[in-house]
Structure 1
């Protein structure tokens, strides 16, 4: 994990999803399997998505060793990453994507989904962003501006999106101290803290107290 103050913090989101996008994710994995030339698991095979994700990961890693990975694989890989429902396994897509195309293109793609995506996309980006911390230190240093941009965009979307999944996933990675933001965003920091503290959701109320105690 990079030591930069702008790098992702080592907090894993979180409770289970309230929005089910498993059908869309299944379709995206099928598209990826075909695109990368990996054999799809049998439809009746247990843990189909886990096996499909593993097959995609292996195919991308193998192609990375051989040489440049086709650019046409990138966007479908990012869409599948944002749709991955399990924060424990989304790294199986993020890590090979970073190895194949570099940290900065992956961060830019995630930021586009964060800025312009649906609430479910925003939650997916927050789950994926956590796993970008394993890239080489030099890549992190070259992308400090994007980590700052993530903080700014994530804070804005936390405040403006009245969506439980998005807020649950965004909160663990937010730095809720004024010193982490320019003065014109301090009011947004205060709004985010207030929203979490007064939420009906136990997780948000508990998590915000941890976030605001961090130094």
Structure 2
């Protein structure tokens, strides 16, 4: 099948990627509290949630306010950076969480953001581990918000270009072990898309874990995991 899920003329049975399913429990209340912190520490012009007609309306206003602040001039403190990353981790939408990762990246650089997400993966709750894996996808974005800067940084300056290869290698190892040892459905769903399933990506002592990860994914009762692994081992 082609990318649209229809069978190809060659008879190839491979389908396009399935969308990452929503979280079994989207934890909307936790996310909204994180978003309130972002609004507060960045001083965004958004009325309190209690003044909105409903939580969806308030969330939309807060997201729009952050997007507009990114396009003007946004000064991000260390506290605000932590709030942005935490909100990205708790955002139930794996596409919209990008808008919290990007200002943190542009203010403090890739190393700070990747290290924070690695900490969530290593020591967080299962919800936080899954959310960190969702947010990690965006942590390699180029710095393209010129009006966003860290507190104390001159206007127009950019974070130093840091070598993050060590952090990426550590993420890869921990994510592999987490996928094999943690049977939480959301954790496995969120880690798998960014997980290398080639032994050459790991030291020899981790090769057995790669085989175990592939076997777990292929035999998993979840359709998304079974579907995803076949694409990745071909890739």
TM-score (norm 2): 0.78
Deviation of 1:57 after TM superposition, in Å, equals: 4.2
2:60 aligned residue (50, 67, 70) = 50
Structure 1 residues 173-192: aligned runs within 5 Å: 173-192=194-213
Q: Does 1:76 pair with 2:83?
A: yes
Match of 2:25 in 1: 19
Structure 1 match to 2:14: none
Change (3 A) 1:103 1:61: farther
Matched, 1:153 2:153: no
Secondary structure of the residue aligned to 1:16 is coil
Q: 1:120 aligns with which of 95, 110, 127?
A: 127
Q: TM-score, normalised by structure 1?
A: 0.85
User: Given that residues 13 and 168 in structure 1 are in contact (C-alpha distance below 8 angstroms), is that contact kept between their aligned partners in structure 2?
Assistant: no
Whether the 8 Å contact between 2:76 and 2:104 is mirrored in structure 1 is no
- CA–CA distance in 1 between the matches of 2:234 and 2:170? 23
| Separation (CA, whole Å) in 2 of partners of 1:12 and 1:106 | 28
Larger relative contact order (CA 8 Å, sep ≥ 6): 1
Higher helix proportion, which one?
1
How far, CA to CA, are the matches of 1:44 and 1:179 in structure 2? 53
Give the CA deviation at 1:16: 1.4
Match of 2:43 in 1: 37
Per the alignment, residue 111 of structure 2 pairs with: 104
C-alpha distance 33-77 of structure 1, shift in aligned 2 (>3 A): same
Q: Do 1:25 and 1:83's aligned partners in 2 also have CA atoms closer than 8 Å?
A: yes
More displaced 10-residue stretch of structure 1: 113-122 or 43-52: 43-52
User: CA contact under 8 A between 2:31 and 2:91: conserved in structure 1?
Assistant: yes
Indicate the SS of the match to 2:46: coil
Larger CA Rg, structure 1 vs 2: 2
Alpha-carbon shift at residue 150 of structure 1 (Å): 1.3
Q: What is the RMSD of the two structures over their aligned residues, measured on CA atoms? A: 2.2
32-41 vs 171-180, which moves further: 32-41
- Check the 8 A contact 2:111/2:162 in 1, yes or no: no
